[in-house]
């Protein structure tokens, strides 16, 4: 049994590699840009980057890749067998089996793959804001919304391993078109992408006059403009952030009804705006949650592990599967 594991978190922009102890201590880390070329077949370019990261750790820390437990967190639909069924944001890797690719390039025998939101949930459960909480939902607010569900102390992988795709729960039937082809998905309202979409909508409707004037047109206003202006107290921006928080609460309330989740851990890129979103979302939850007053107060906490959550969780997957 190895004392350390590698966790790899592959994002649309960067791949983060961490070397982790069984106590969740990060001994080393590497960040590399994620390649987006399809040469060499599905996932080959990305697998090469990951293999280099692992090889660097092996060299620096005198480890043998053959025995090293390696976990990979990947955005998209990761099957229980470790094959990537579909990755909308990483088109060049769809269908790839990274365990096989890393076995070929490194001789690594212990490579496991899991959805990145599920990894983040496992990471927070082991070493972060979900520690000791046997029923909670990890919500990662990035361009979309990912997540992972811990119920009865275990990750809900579901039939094929695709569990936790909470961003594609429709909260507005026949609502805004989503990248997945569906309509009204939660992530079209309460993610970074949702903020951007609502910003365009509000700007076009004349509801962001100050920002439109500042940017010289409705097209120029971005989600970042809104979070910045909201932080400075610009009323129209504060109102828009409250709308995003309302939609965030709408989805969270659904998950409370379905799963009786008492705790949420919020991570992902948009969680930099957590101080603007979470207080309002908590407030909206009171009205939006079925039987709110019959429950203990729902806790909505920011991620403890922040940018490391996915990579740490991937390492946890590797520890768990190889032990």
Q: Which is nearer to a copy of itself, 65 or 148 (CB)?
A: 148
Q: Which stretch binds a copy of itself (CB under 8 A): 48-56, 173-181, 218-226, 272-280?
A: 173-181
Q: Of 129, 118, 114, which Cα lies nearest the Cα of 166?
A: 118
First to last CA, the chain: 7
Q: Which is nearer to a copy of itself, 16 or 256 (CB)?
A: 256
Q: Which residues, numbered 86-115, are part of the site for a copy of itself (CB under 8 A)?
A: 86
Q: Which is nearer to a copy of itself, 2 or 162 (CB)?
A: 162
Q: Which is nearer to a copy of itself, 216 or 291 (CB)?
A: 291
Q: Which residues, numbered 243-262, are part of the site for a copy of itself (CB under 8 A)?
A: 247, 250, 253-255, 257-262
Q: Which is nearer to a copy of itself, 262 or 269 (CB)?
A: 262
For 267, phi then psi, to 5°, come to -130, -165
- Is there binding between residue 294 and a copy of itself (CB under 8 A)? yes
- Is there binding between residue 185 and a copy of itself (CB under 8 A)? yes
Other beta carbons within 10 Å of 13 = 12
Long-range pairs for 29-34 at CB < 8 Å and ≥24 separation? 29/308, 29/311, 30/56, 30/57, 34/10, 34/90
CA dist 86 and 78 (Å) reads 7
CB 132 within 8 A of CB 89: no
- Give the interface size with a copy of itself as a residue count (CB under 8 A): 48
- Is there binding between residue 78 and a copy of itself (CB under 8 A)? no
Taken as a whole, the chain contains a residue count of: 323
Paired tokens of 310: 């996915």
Sheet holding 136-141, edge to edge: 154-155, 145-151, 136-141, 263-267, 299-302
Q: Kindly state the smallest distance separating residue 77's Cβ from a copy of itself, in Å.
A: 5
Q: Which is nearer to a copy of itself, 170 or 214 (CB)?
A: 170
67-93 exposure pattern, b = at least 16 Cβ within 10 A, e = fewer: ebbbbbbbbbbbbeebbbeebebbebb
- Is there binding between residue 140 and a copy of itself (CB under 8 A)? no
Q: Which of 43, 49, 99, 168 binds a copy of itself (CB under 8 A)?
A: 168
Q: Kindly state the smallest distance separating residue 147's Cβ from a copy of itself, in Å.
A: 9
Q: Which of 32, 56, 89, 172 binds a copy of itself (CB under 8 A)?
A: 172
Q: Which is nearer to a copy of itself, 39 or 152 (CB)?
A: 152
CB 238 within 8 A of CB 230: yes
- Residues lying near a copy of itself in the complex (CB under 8 A) are found at 77, 85-86, 135, 149, 151-152, 154, 156-166, 168-173, 180-182, 185, 247, 250, 253-255, 257-263, 287-288, 290-291, 294-296
């Amino acid at each position: 049994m190895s004392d350390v594991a590698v966790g790899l978190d592959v994002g649309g922009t960067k791949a983060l590699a961490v070397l982790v102890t069984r106590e969740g201590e990060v001994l080393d880390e590497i960040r590399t840009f994620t390649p987006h070329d399809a040469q060499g077949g599905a996932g080959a370019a990305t697998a090469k980057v990951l293999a280099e990261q692992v090889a660097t750790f092996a060299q620096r820390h005198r480890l043998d890749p053959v025995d090293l437990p390696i976990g990979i967190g990947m955005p998209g639909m990761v099957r229980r067998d470790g094959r990537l069924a579909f990755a909308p944001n990483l088109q060049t890797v769809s269908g790839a089996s990274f365990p096989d690719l890393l076995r070929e390039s490194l001789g690594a025998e212990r490579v496991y793959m899991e959805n990145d939101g599920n990894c983040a949930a496992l990471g927070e459960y082991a070493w972060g804001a979900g520690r000791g909480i046997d029923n909670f939902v990890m919500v990662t607010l990035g361009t979309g919304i990912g997540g992972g569900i811990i119920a009865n102390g275990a990750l809900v992988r579901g039939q094929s391993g695709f569990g936790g795709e909470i961003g594609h729960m429709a909260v507005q039937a026949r609502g805004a078109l989503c990248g997945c082809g569906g309509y009204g998905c939660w992530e079209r309202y309460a993610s970074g992408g949702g903020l951007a979409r609502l910003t365009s909508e509000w700007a076009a409707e004349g509801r962001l006059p100050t920002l439109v004037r500042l940017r010289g047109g409705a097209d120029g206003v971005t989600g970042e403009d809104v979070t910045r202006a909201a932080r400075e107290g610009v009323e129209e921006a504060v109102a828009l952030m409250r709308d995003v928080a309302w939609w965030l609460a709408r989805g969270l309330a659904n998950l409370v009804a379905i799963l009786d989740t008492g705790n949420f851990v919020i991570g992902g890129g948009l969680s930099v705006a957590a101080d603007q979103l979470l207080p309002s979302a908590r407030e909206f939850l009171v009205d939006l949650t079925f039987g709110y007053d019959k429950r203990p107060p729902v806790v909505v906490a920011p991620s403890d592990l922040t940018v490391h959550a996915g990579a740490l969780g991937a390492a946890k997957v590797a520890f768990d599967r190889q032990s």
